[in-house]
A and B are shown apart, each in its own frame.
Chain A
Amino acid sequence: MSATADSARERYLSKPRLRFPALSRLTPSGRPLVYLDSAATSLRPEEVIDAGCQFCRMHDGNPHRGLHMLSQEATEVLEETRQKVAEWIGAPGAKGVVFTRNTTAALNLVARGLEHSLQPGDEIVLTEMEHHANLVPWITLAKLKGLKLRYIPIDQNGELVLGTLEELIGPKTRVVSVTHISNVLGTINPVRDIARAAHRAGALMVVDAAQSVGHMPVRFGELGADLLAFSAHKCYGPTGLGVLVGKPEVLERLDPLETGGDMIEFVSYEEATWAPVPHRFEAGTPNAAAAAAFSRAIDFMEGFGLRAIEQHGRLVTSYALKRLPSIPGVRVLGPLDPDRRGALVSFVDPQVHPHDLATLLDQNGIAVRAGHHCAQPLHRRLGIPASTRASFGIYSEPADIDALVEGILEARKVFLR
């Protein structure tokens, strides 16, 4: 390789932004895109997009079905990715990795999969900061089975009040299901401590890791979880692929939510028996192209190292926590200590409603999330109808926060004119 090519490559690697094609776009305002919505979905680097395309172009068979070359290659891609995810997340082997559509589908699988092992009066413990994905499946199940839902409260900093665990988690508790990082407050929850309390009571510990996987080192075994869910698209991978990580003996206790092709062992006109874990949870043709792309996303993240990604996120978050409150009246939600939170900052501007702010920011090429971020009960608990959220990825830079602050001030001008 020539010296010029070498330096071009070095620049490419040292500047993560250059690896994300979407960031090369100009917005209709003529300004470059400032993407601050990574908690909704991260952008995808070129190599991940290419890996998905390459699968579709050359290896696009239906996994587990055909005896021909393309089907076998698709099977290899899917199962190699399963193995890779298992090692990456610290699952107890490939048997502990179930592919789903997304985190929501994984948590529904858990809730509905436990339906037959729960009795009226059993208790499920959640927190006040859950995303609807870790709330509505349990509310639905509670109604269906006569279960009682209990909530670990949050304090003024948006952190869980752990002193309540002893009272909330008891002999009737069957499941404790908690978000690892709040998608609104950014709070990193002490999952290990909560898991200990759950296990002392003989309950299952479920973790919604949608906001933590890909943003910090997450090891399934170290968290003390029995089941953990995340989405590929929130960590530089494609949409349409989620993962439920589980201890195989716990997965054995779940009933499959969907039945049909590929999840069976033996079928007659009257009976069917299930395939072993994890395949019994994967009815129908799986998203092998997404698996191919996600495999490359793991390489991409490991190229930096999750510790480095976490530190980068913290750097941008610290800067946002410093700059946003410097705008008079703006109130940041969640812990103010950047070491206690993930790479996102939600805030309230008393002068401009989040929807108006998001529209006005968008006109300046700045993408944020506005609304309740799929956490209506939390917003009600905080006494606000909605908030605005800026969330970060490996491509985010302090300059993005400067653009955001400037955008907020410009939006205020529209309302003050």
Chain B
Amino acid sequence: MSDDLYRDVILDHHRHPRCTAPLKHPNAHSSGMNPACGDEVSVNLDIREGAVRDIQVQGKGCAISTAAGSMFADRVKGMTTSELKALAAEVRSMLTSGKAPGPDVLGDLEALLGVSRFPVRVKCAMLPIATALDAVASFEDDNSEKAS
């Protein structure tokens, strides 16, 4: 059962999280916290012309939360912000339904499928992803204000 939750790819991202280096030109930021456990995460993005040029995810959290942040960051680099939002929705849907989408939609993130069987841990996996969504939302709010 634990093998199902802590798959090798999750443990690998937990031990060696990707996208932790500070960004040269971050223009979107958010930080999040899981009030149930005190885990904290901070997300910085460099968004240009509607696409994620770079992303940094940093935090103190459990293996599930650290790995989810690392895998998500790895996957969204180069995506448009709409693609990022769609990806986040796919992950959330998998975690709540227990069903993985078709092949190649999620990449490494599909390893989080096992989390769906541990409802209390869904929040751990979603913390960095929800924080990234929040950063994108506040970026878009700011820029729509500037535009109007």
| A→B interface (CB under 8 Å) | 29, 352-356, 359-360, 363, 370-372, 376, 379, 385-386, 414-415, 417
Q: How far is the CB of A170 from chain B (nearest CB, A)?
A: 33
Minimum CB distance partner of A357 in chain B: B62
Q: Do A379 and B61 form a contact, CB below 8 Å, given A363-B2, A414-B6?
A: no
B64 cross-chain contacts in A, Cβ below 8 A? 355-356
Q: Do A386 and B121 form a contact, CB below 8 Å, given A353-B61, A415-B11?
A: no
**Supplied contacts A363-B1, A385-B37, A386-B39, 20 more A-B pairs, CB within 8 Å:** A352-B63, A354-B62, A355-B37, A355-B62, A355-B121, A359-B5, A359-B121, A360-B6, A363-B2, A371-B36, A371-B37, A376-B38, A385-B39, A385-B40, A385-B61, A386-B37, A414-B2, A415-B6, A415-B11, A415-B63
B88 at the A/B interface (Cβ < 8 Å)? no
Q: Report yes or no: B63 in contact with A372, Cβ–Cβ below 8 A.
A: no
Q: Report yes or no: A385 in contact with B60, Cβ–Cβ below 8 A.
A: yes
How far apart sit A368 and B40, CA to CA, in the bound complex (Å)?
22
Question: What 1/0 flags go to B35-79 for Cβ under 8 Å of A?
Answer: 011111000000000000000000011111100000000000000
How far apart sit A227 and B1, CA to CA, in the bound complex (Å)?
48
A376 cross-chain contacts in B, Cβ below 8 A? 38
Minimum CB distance partner of B15 in chain A: A415
Minimum CB distance partner of A371 in chain B: B37
Q: Do A360 and B121 form a contact, CB below 8 Å, given A355-B37, A371-B37?
A: no
Question: Which of A359, A371, A415 is in CB contact (< 8 Å) with B38?
Answer: A371
B28 at the A/B interface (Cβ < 8 Å)? no
Q: Report yes or no: A417 in contact with B39, Cβ–Cβ below 8 A.
A: no
Minimum CB distance partner of B3 in chain A: A414
Q: Report yes or no: A417 in contact with B38, Cβ–Cβ below 8 A.
A: no
Q: Report yes or no: A372 in contact with B6, Cβ–Cβ below 8 A.
A: no
How far apart sit A304 and B124, CA to CA, in the bound complex (Å)?
42
A356 cross-chain contacts in B, Cβ below 8 A? 6, 62-64
How far apart sit A363 and B3, CA to CA, in the bound complex (Å)?
11
How far apart sit A270 and B64, CA to CA, in the bound complex (Å)?
58
Q: Do A353 and B62 form a contact, CB below 8 Å, given A385-B39, A386-B39?
A: yes
26 A–B pairs (Cβ distance < 8 Å), ordered by A: A29-B1, A355-B37, A355-B39, A355-B62, A355-B64, A355-B121, A356-B62, A356-B64, A359-B2, A359-B5, A359-B118, A359-B121, A360-B2, A363-B1, A370-B37, A371-B38, A372-B37, A372-B38, A379-B38, A385-B61, A386-B37, A386-B39, A414-B2, A414-B6, A415-B63, A417-B11
